[in-house]
Amino acid sequence: MNYANTLKNYDLKVTPQRVAIVQELYVCGHLNIDQLYNKLLEKFPSISLATIYKNMNAMIEKIFVQEVKIPNEKSVYELTKERHAHFVCECCKKIEDIHLDTDNLLTQVAQKTHYTINSTSLVFNGICSECAQQ
Amino acid sequence: MNYANTLKNYDLKVTPQRVAIVQELYVCGHLNIDQLYNKLLEKFPSISLATIYKNMNAMIEKIFVQEVKIPNEKSVYELTKERHAHFVCECCKKIEDIHLDTDNLLTQVAQKTHYTINSTSLVFNGICSECAQQ
DNA sequence: CTGACTGCAAACGTTTTGCACGGTA
DNA sequence: TACCGTGCAAAACGTTTGCAGTCAG
């Protein structure tokens, strides 16, 4: 993953702060604003929260990054990938991507509503196996 | 629907403001805080936003009301009902409940993650048939 | 009568904005 | 060089809290 080139592909100027944001999202998968800010503080001790917000908004506008809204939790951000669902552990707050076959689901929605579906937001809350063992 | 009795069933004191909140949610289905505030202003010209917030939090705590987080939109609130999904029209912002058979989906999640699922948040974004005609 | 609810004002946390400076292309 | 991004400070916004007065049970 070449972070700088990926930014360019999305029409975003390359700056060290942006590269670091992409890198953290790539490595960590899902981060909320505070987590991202704290990670970046290690590399850029004088980085501003305003910079984080401005960059997230710029990346969201280019659909390079997407916000994931989670019940009872702060929103997290992830690099745009192929459509997938999320599992959130209510205990350790871990978030995992789940790739599901949603053809049947979308067929049901189409039959019941006759609406055109453009995107989905599927979040499953529960207890992960690590937390369940304790 | 007897609003006062329903409030009592959920261990919530009955006040005119609360009855009005339940009534609006029952009639409108889904409302965000501003919409609810504006509706209640008609009946209670001096009602405070703080009252709305306090009551929503009280009702959520009793699981009488639930928050629905929607991508790119403000959260809306609805009376707790049986599990269901939501369709949101990107054009007119209309929100509709959809009752889907999710057995297959939950089976897939169970097989792929071995996690215990306690709740789901399923939101479908698209264009409703009324907006599609235009 | 007692405790809970209301409405107001202030406080708080989060996100956005304006501006001077510095860096990217 | 021209424009865009950064960081700081202030502003804006949404939500919560404290308090005095009022109401429900």
Q: Do A129 and B114 touch (CB under 8 A)?
A: yes
Report the pLDDT value the prediction gives residue A58, as an integer from 0 to 100: 98
Which chain B residues have a beta carbon less than 8 Å from that of A96? 113
Report the pLDDT value the prediction gives residue B94, as an integer from 0 to 100: 96
Quick one: residue B72, left, alpha or beta (phi over 0 = left, psi -120 to 50 = alpha)? left
pLDDT band per the 50, 70, 90 thresholds, residue A59? very high
Residue B94 has which token pair? 């209309």
Report H helices in A1-134.
3-9, 16-28, 33-43, 49-61, 103-113, 129-132
Question: What digits encode the pLDDT tens for the residues B65-113?
Answer: 999 999 999 999 999 999 999 999 999 999 999 999 999 999 999 999 9
Report the pLDDT value the prediction gives residue A89, as an integer from 0 to 100: 97
Which 8-state DSSP code applies to residue A127?
A: E
Which chain A residues have a beta carbon less than 8 Å from that of B118? 90, 125-127
Which residues, 6+ apart, have CB-to-CB distance to B84 below 8 Å?
B97, B98, B99, B100
Average pLDDT, chain B: 97
Report the pLDDT value the prediction gives residue A79, as an integer from 0 to 100: 98
Q: Is the CB of B72 under 7 A from strand C?
A: no
Go through the domains of chain B in sequence order and give each one's CATH number: 3-79 (1.10.10.10), 85-133 (3.30.1490.190)
Report the pLDDT value the prediction gives residue B117, as an integer from 0 to 100: 97
For B28-44, what is the mean pLDDT?
A: 98
pTM to 2 decimals? 0.95
Which residues, 6+ apart, have CB-to-CB distance to A95 below 8 Å?
A29, A30, A68, A70, A76, A86, A87, A88, A89
Please give the distance of CA B109 from its chain centroid, rounded to a whole number: 25
Q: Is the CB of B54 under 7 A from strand C?
A: yes
Q: Do B113 and A96 touch (CB under 8 A)?
A: yes
Report the pLDDT value the prediction gives residue B17, as an integer from 0 to 100: 98
Report the pLDDT value the prediction gives residue A128, as an integer from 0 to 100: 96
Which residues, 6+ apart, have CB-to-CB distance to B30 below 8 Å?
B68, B76, B77, B78, B86, B95
Report the pLDDT value the prediction gives residue B28, as an integer from 0 to 100: 98
Q: Do B115 and A105 touch (CB under 8 A)?
A: no
- Helix (H) or strand (E) holding B60, with range, is helix B49-61
Q: Is the CB of A38 under 7 A from strand C?
A: no
For B33-57, what is the mean pLDDT?
A: 98
Chain C nucleotides near the protein (CB, 7 A):
4-10, 14-18, 23-25
Report the pLDDT value the prediction gives residue A90, as an integer from 0 to 100: 95
Report the pLDDT value the prediction gives residue B123, as an integer from 0 to 100: 98
Q: Do B113 and A128 touch (CB under 8 A)?
A: yes
For A35-59, what is the mean pLDDT?
A: 98
d(CA A51, CA A16): 12
Average pLDDT, chain A: 97
